[in-house]
Chains A and B, each alone.
Chain A
Amino acid sequence: MLPRLTTLAAPSRFYALADALVPWFRAVALLFGAAGIYIGFAIAPTDFQQGEVYRIIFIHVPAAWMSMLIYLVLAFWAVWGWMLNARMASMYARALAPTGALFTVIALWTGALWGKPTWGAWWVWDARLTSEFILLLMYLGYIALTEAIDDTRRAANAGALLALVGVVNVPIIYFSVRWWNTLHQGASINLRSAPSMASAMLVAMLLMTIAFWAYSFAVVFTRARAIVLEQEHDTEWVRSLRHAGSMR
């Protein structure tokens, strides 16, 4: 039986449903992560140009994809919550922000460790790197703004405006390697042509992408559950839940 679409809009029902889903996402993340690492290190061949160091790709590209995807999802829920005054949507947005910021940091960090041996520099102010860095600033700005405003609805609305403005940056990151001459290499995968990499490399990267995606769901749902409890702390169902917890 499929839950109705409205199930995820009511904080109390989201809370129960997420409780059931989180262990599955965690299992998928661990399983696919282990498989991705195994294929990435034991089966994928050495790159003919870059040697072994290219193996950073298995976390670098999935992390960069997640950093952009999470931002778009965040902006979607933030604006949805703002337009329809939907509390749960705004809570999803706030739950997504730290995880998105984390993946942005991972993309930048792994990129620096890949850049040093291949380009000879940890960092360059190239269009791809700079726009990804701006994404991190957007996340941090969103988190700071929403945390600084005590009134949850005002915080959600102000955050939604900021998130919406920042959306313009996402296509800039994605297309930067095509629009400008960048030191950063072009995409190895796109929708119009066959991927320019060995199939074991591609499989490892996709497995890691699924692992990061499932990880994000597990962590964001858990954080959203905490936010639900924090924001609904004076409702009857949260009171009884906490009471039952303290009795155990």
Chain B
Amino acid sequence: MNTEAIAHFVRMGGHGLYIWGAYAVTLALLLGEAWAVRRRHGRALGPPRSSEAFEAFESADAVPQVQR
């Protein structure tokens, strides 16, 4: 494939910016979401954070909660 053919493909009949803009943003959003959920899962799986340890400490001497 020569450069002329590639340039022709990228131009998309003058609508390249619209088409590639749609595809690029879609790809970025999907990859971003996939990355974000993996990070959220990794955090939830990690060792308890200090704020959670504090909550556990706080609730330890509180009145036992009625199981609903």
Residues of chain A touching chain B, judged by Cβ–Cβ distance below 8 Å, are: 41, 46, 51-53, 55-56, 59-60, 63, 98-99, 102, 105-106, 109-110, 113-114, 116-117, 153, 215, 218-219, 222-223, 225-226, 229-230, 233, 241-243, 245-246
Q: Do the beta carbons of A229 and B41 come within 8 Å of each other? A: yes
Report how far A113 CA is from B43 CA in the complex, Å. Answer: 36
Q: Do the beta carbons of A223 and B18 come within 8 Å of each other? A: no
- Interface size of B by CB at 8 A reads 27
Report how far A77 CA is from B24 CA in the complex, Å. Answer: 32
Pick the contact of A109: B25, B40, B44, B52 (CB < 8 A). B25
Pick the contact of B41: A102, A113, A117, A222 (CB < 8 A). A222
Residues of chain B touching chain A, judged by Cβ–Cβ distance below 8 Å, are: 9, 12-13, 15, 18-19, 21-23, 25-26, 29-30, 33-34, 37-38, 40-41, 43-48, 52, 68
Residue ID in chain A nearest B12 by CB atoms: A52
The number of inter-chain residue pairs (CB within 8 angstroms) is: 86
Residue ID in chain A nearest B59 by CB atoms: A234
Pick the contact of B44: A102, A153, A230, A246 (CB < 8 A). A230
The 10 closest A-B pairs by CB, nearest first: A246-B47, A229-B44, A53-B15, A52-B13, A226-B41, A110-B22, A52-B12, A226-B40, A222-B37, A113-B18
Known pairs A241-B45, A245-B45; A223 contacts B19 (CB<8 A): no
Report how far A99 CA is from B15 CA in the complex, Å. Answer: 28
Pick the contact of B19: A55, A215, A219 (CB < 8 A). A55
**Interface contacts beyond A52-B13, A222-B41: sample of 19 additional A-B pairs, CB < 8 Å, sorted by A:** A41-B9, A52-B15, A53-B12, A53-B15, A55-B12, A56-B18, A59-B23, A113-B22, A114-B22, A116-B18, A215-B30, A215-B34, A218-B34, A223-B37, A225-B41, A225-B44, A245-B45, A245-B46, A246-B46
